[in-house]
Amino acid sequence: MTAIVNISLKAGVLDSQGKAVHHALDALKFEGVEDVRVGKQIILKLTSTDEASAKAEVTEMCESLLANTVIEDYTIELIS
């Protein structure tokens, strides 16, 4: 089973990297971009075949190490 974890800054947290990308897109004349948020994606190959236990384990990984839950949100997608 594969777990895809997408991590992004919470809505109220300043995303300086996103602002830099937005500024660069403006400088390159890409119009119509209102805002840019930069995040990260972590792909985990798991040995578990039980979806509930896999989700619980990945949630624990996120809470313990992968995401800084004070300033970041995360989502988990499991693929069999």
pLDDT 10s digits, 40-76:
999 999 999 999 999 999 999 999 999 999 999 999 9
Helix (H, G, I), strand (E, B) or coil at 8: strand
Which range of residues forms the domain containing residue 48?
2-79
CA dist., res. 56 & res. 74, Å (int) = 14
pLDDT at 60: 98
CATH number, residue 36: 3.30.1280.10
Domain count within the chain: 1
- Residue-wise pLDDT for 4-46, tens only, equals 999 999 999 999 999 999 999 999 999 999 999 999 999 999 9
What the block records as the tokens of 34 is 């209102």
